[in-house]
Amino acid sequence: MITLASMQNQKKKVEVVAAVIVHNDKILCVQRGENKYDYISKKFEFPGGKMEEGETKKQTIIREIKEELNMDIIPGKELETVEHDYPDFNLTMHSFICESLNNEVFLTEHIDYKWLPISELVTLDWAAADLPIVEQLMKS
C-alpha cells in the first residue's frame, strides 16, 4: 500500500550550497528564471548550486559562483543549514557568508540581481528555502 509517508521518502534529495555574498555592506540577491516548478520560478535566492562528488562545501561554492556569476568570492563562516521539503524534492542547503572584492555580476543562469542592505531583503519574493537565511541575517 502506498502511503503519504512512503511517497515523501521517494522524493529526490538535493544537497546544495548557497553564498550570502557581501560587498560594501550590501548582499547579492539573484532571481531565478522560469522553472518547471512554479513554487521556485522567478523567486529570489542566494546563489549557489549542487555539490559534486569529492568536493568540499567551500570548493563547491567557489566553483558555482564562478560558473553562475563569473565572480570570485572568499567563503567565510558557515551560517545555518536549511532542510526544506518542497513538493517535488527535499533540499539540504548549506549557507556561507562570502566576501566579494567587487560587485560586478555576469548572469549566466539568473534573470536579475540586486545588491541590497540587510534591512531591504524582506522586500523580495524569496524561494521558501532561502527565507530562514534571510530571517537569520535580519536578526544579526
- Residue 3 lies inside a defined structural domain of this protein: no
Residue type, 130: D
| pTM tops 0.85 | yes
Number of domains in the chain: 1
98, burial (CB in 10 Å: exposed 0-12, middle 13-18, buried 19+): buried
- Residue 72 lies inside a defined structural domain of this protein: yes
pLDDT surpasses 60 at 5:
no
- Residue 89 lies inside a defined structural domain of this protein: yes
- Residue 129 lies inside a defined structural domain of this protein: yes
If you average pLDDT over residues 3-9, what whole number do you get? 56
- Residue 65 lies inside a defined structural domain of this protein: yes
Residue 35: which CATH number? Answer: 3.90.79.10
- Residue 83 lies inside a defined structural domain of this protein: yes
Cα 39 from Cα 27, distance rounded (Å):
23
Cα distances (angstroms) measured from residue 42 to each of 72, 98, 120: 25, 23, 18
pLDDT surpasses 80 at 133:
yes
Polymer length of the chain: 140
- Per the listing, cell 567551500 goes with 58
| Residue 77 belongs to domain spanning | 12-139
Q: What is the pLDDT of residues 26-83, one digit of tens each?
A: 999 999 999 998 999 999 999 999 999 999 999 999 999 999 999 999 999 999 999 9
Cα 61 from Cα 84, distance rounded (Å):
19
- Residue 92 lies inside a defined structural domain of this protein: yes
- Residue 7 lies inside a defined structural domain of this protein: no
Q: What is the pLDDT of residues 98-124, one digit of tens each?
A: 999 889 999 999 999 999 999 999 999
